[in-house]
Amino acid sequence: MTTDLEYIQKAEATRVRVLSEALPYIQRFAGRTIVVKYGGAAMKDNSLKETVIRDVVFLSCVGLRPVVVHGGGPEINSWLDKLGIEPQFKNGLRVTDAATMDVVEMVLVGRVNKEIVALINQAGGSAVGLCGKDGNLVRARPQGDEGIGFVGEVAATNVKLIESLVKDGYIPIVSSVAADEKGQAYNINADTIAGEIAAALGAEKLILMTDTAGILRNYKDPSTLIAKVDIQEARKLIEDGVVSGGMIPKVNCCVRSLAQGVRAAHIIDGRLPHSLLLEVFTDAGIGSMIVASSEFRA
């Protein structure tokens, strides 16, 4: 029978082993920018939220430069319900009329963003809340589909503000709202903004936190996780129908960021505690990594 002392000794040994394994990764990535798209269950579950916040602060404390991009769909739906506005979707996109856009901006920029900033500051980090409007960080344009209102795409980025902040040790927290050249606000997919910001920053990594284990050969079986693919293999997985549904835009987002100079893109399961650190700092990783070519070594 295992005694309490033996259990404690095993737990401590595991902790030391993990820290030792993390050291070469900490050394390799110190001073490098990592863009994290934060969303899904990790935003809704309070215990998961706490671990993500601590992980982001940990990244900053060991010398990496994290940038967090977030959406907030469930919170938007909650406030639309409170205001008597029925959420509508078309082809997987939120129909965003003027009234809905007001709620989206209020919730993402004024509520969700500031909550994340406050939590990171409480955990010992130094966070600054932004949206695409700040410093012309993201310039929007209409997505183009008929009948979806103010749903946007990224027309241009200007990351000087983020570069200044991370250089001074701040953690930028970016909500997925931006404006066009006339000042009209648009709701933009957070994955898309994260990918474009990562590309503009020449980030070491783009990490998309999702509610799935990663890219699966059989979407019903987590044991079929594909740990690493290059751009060509990723495109073939889409062609063959292995990557389908909501995973297609995520993989395409990763591929686009890699084509623009991001070193590696990751799709990880935000439902697992500390998945962010497990992916960045362990040999095995936890999700799917996409790289530009098969010769790349992360």
Give CB contacts under 8 A, 24+ apart, made by 245-252. Answer: 246/92, 247/212, 247/215, 247/219, 249/189, 249/191, 249/192, 250/191, 250/208, 250/210, 251/215, 251/290
Domain count, the chain: 1
Q: Is residue 297 part of a domain?
A: no
Q: Which is it for strands 205-210 and 264-269: parallel, antiparallel or unpaired?
A: parallel
Q: What is the pLDDT of residue 238?
A: 93
Where does residue 136 rank: exposed (0-12), middle (13-18), buried (19+ CB within 10 A)?
middle
pLDDT for 74 beyond 90: no
Residue 1: pLDDT band (50, 70, 90) is very low
The boundaries of the domain holding residue 165 are 30-291
The Cα-based distances of 174 to 27, 71, 75, 133 in angstroms read 27, 9, 16, 10
In the set 44, 45, 73, 228, the catalytic residue is 73
Q: What is the pLDDT of residue 64?
A: 96
Q: Which of 28, 30, 33, 35 is nearest to 254 (CA)?
A: 35
- Is 40 labeled as catalytic in the residue annotation? yes
CATH number reported for the structural domain that contains residue 102 in this entry: 3.40.1160.10
Q: Is residue 228 part of a domain?
A: yes
In the set 125, 152, 191, 287, the catalytic residue is 191
Residues 92-145 have pLDDT tens digits of: 788 999 999 999 999 999 999 999 999 999 999 999 999 999 999 999 999 988
Q: Is residue 12 part of a domain?
A: no
Query: What angle (nearest 5°) sits at the alpha carbon of residue 211, between those of residues 86 and 222?
Result: 140
Cβ atoms < 10 Å from Cβ of 126: 14
Q: Is residue 36 part of a domain?
A: yes
Residues 272-287 have pLDDT tens digits of: 999 999 999 988 888 9
Q: Which residues pair with 35 in a beta bridge?
A: 67, 206
Q: Is residue 25 part of a domain?
A: no
Q: What is the pLDDT of residue 88?
A: 86
CA 182 to the chain's CA centroid: 28
CA distance 73 to 156: 24
Cβ–Cβ under 8 Å, residues 174 and 137 = yes
Residue 294: pLDDT band (50, 70, 90) is low
Owner of token pair 């963003």: 113
Q: Is residue 20 part of a domain?
A: no
> What percent of the chain lies above the pLDDT cut of 90?
73
CA distance 178 to 93: 16
Tell me the residue type at 56: V
Q: Is residue 50 part of a domain?
A: yes
Residues 225-274 have pLDDT tens digits of: 999 999 999 999 999 999 988 899 999 999 999 999 999 999 999 999 99
- Is 191 labeled as catalytic in the residue annotation? yes
User: What is the rounded average pLDDT for all residues in the chain?
Assistant: 91
Q: Is residue 201 part of a domain?
A: yes
- Is 39 labeled as catalytic in the residue annotation? no
- Is 37 labeled as catalytic in the residue annotation? yes
Higher pLDDT, 92 or 147: 147
